[in-house]
Amino acid sequence: MKKYITLAILSIALASCGGDSNEKSVEALLESGSVEELQAKQEALKADVAATNDQLAQIEKVLEEKNPREKKEVLITTMTVKDTLFNHFIEVQGNVETKQNVLIYPEYQGTLSRVVVKEGQRVRKGQTLARIDDGGLSSQVAQMESQLALAKTTFERQQRLWDQKIGSEIQYLQAKTQYESSQNMVSQIKSQLGKTTVTAPFSGVIDEVITDQGTVVAPGMALFRIVNLDNMYVAAEIPESYLPTVTAGKKVKVEFPVLGESVETTVRQTGNYIKPSNRSFAIEVDVPNKDGKVKPNLTARLSINDYTAESAILIPLNVINENAAGEQFVYTAFAKADEMVAQQKIITTGKSQGPNIEVLSGLEVGDKIIVEGARSVKDNQPVKILTY
């Protein structure tokens, strides 16, 4: 067989080197500087090379037909297709927030006569935080309560007389009106007096004392910041394409890069509005905070489980090829006669996670996927499986 190859190569070489003895050499053409002759020589050489390649291809074909066992085997490694649990996650960034992080403002104008809490102090809902000078409201309350007591006594006496048909109806109605009016005035002034006491709207920690004792305050002027770190959550925005799969109750892994910690939790709420500016919707994720390390506005990374397949076929992304028609395919190794050969299989894929991707069709459990050597083999080419 080697003899045939040698003879063929010699004949090709003689055919390329021979020819018309009157034909100018390349060196002579270069010296002449004739562009037309150089182009003609270039085309002639190209034709010789093409003819040589065709003859070599024919020789290789004859050799393979005469001795098929001399076909080159490609060394490969394989992996056996299995079905496995597949969890797909989407990753987004969010910020830690709490709905109980508020500034406390006064409802009454006056001098801040007393501040009874300090920064870092835990307080309970309704606990007094500060008092504002009432400007004499307490004295007015005592006076109005005395007038109310008199109006009540007058009304009660007038009512007894009216029940006995004594006196006029107008006297009875006047006494009744005076009593009810006094009641309303006392309630109003007590309500105003109550606004001079600043209380905690919920249980939490006084994070900041903004206004000092002795300062003249008015509505709209912040006094304290109170924070409750027990009911924390992460707020994030999710692309609208995930609206059907990211729902309340989905599992989430929350990582805090600054703290170097992570927690497993769930989506507690999803928004009902798509923002037109970035085509996304909001979600809230519960964050346990027993030790109080998690603070408002802390950056968090969310890995949300948006898709789960109980029996999925996963293969490495780097073994997938694509043909001219845009179809994805892989090579599998199978026994044919007394040798192993590669077989091309068209596949359809789903979601990817890390280095792997889910195969929806085209492969079956037990198939041997070619991994190393996947870019070198061809369909029906003999292969040899390496074992380590």
Residue 16 confidence (pLDDT) above 50: no
Q: What is the mean pLDDT of residues 317-338?
A: 90
Average pLDDT of the residues in 277-296: 90
For residues 219-225, give the mean pLDDT: 93
CB of 93 closer than 8 Å to CB of 304: no
Q: What is the mean pLDDT of residues 31-42?
A: 71
Q: Which of residues 366 and 140 earns the better pLDDT score?
A: 366
pLDDT in tens, 237-278: 999 999 999 999 999 999 999 999 999 999 999 999 999 999
**Does residue 6 have a pLDDT over 70?**
no
90-100 pLDDT, tens digit per residue, is 999 999 998 88
pLDDT, residue 105, reads: 95
Q: What is the share, in percent, of the chain residues with pLDDT greater than 90? A: 49
Give per-residue pLDDT as tens, 126-141: 999 999 998 888 888 8
> CA 206 to CA 209: how far, in whole Å?
7
Residue 287: what are its φ and ψ, rounded to 5°? -130, 110
- pTM above 0.85? no
Residues 6+ apart with CB under 8 A from 104: 129, 198, 200, 201, 222, 223, 224, 225, 226
Output 293 or 55, whichever has higher pLDDT. Answer: 293
Regarding predicted confidence, which is higher, 164 or 91?
Answer: 91
Query: Phi and psi (nearest 5°) for 95?
Result: -125, 145
Select the more confidently predicted residue: 156 or 72. Answer: 156
Q: Are 54 and 12 in contact (CB under 8 A)?
A: no
Q: Residues 84, 311: contact at Cβ < 8 Å?
A: yes
Q: Residues 233, 97: contact at Cβ < 8 Å?
A: yes
Which residues contact residue 373 at a Cβ distance below 8 angstroms, ignoring those fewer than 6 apart? Answer: 74, 75, 76, 77, 383
Indicate the average pLDDT of the chain: 85
| pLDDT greater than 50 at residue 20 | no
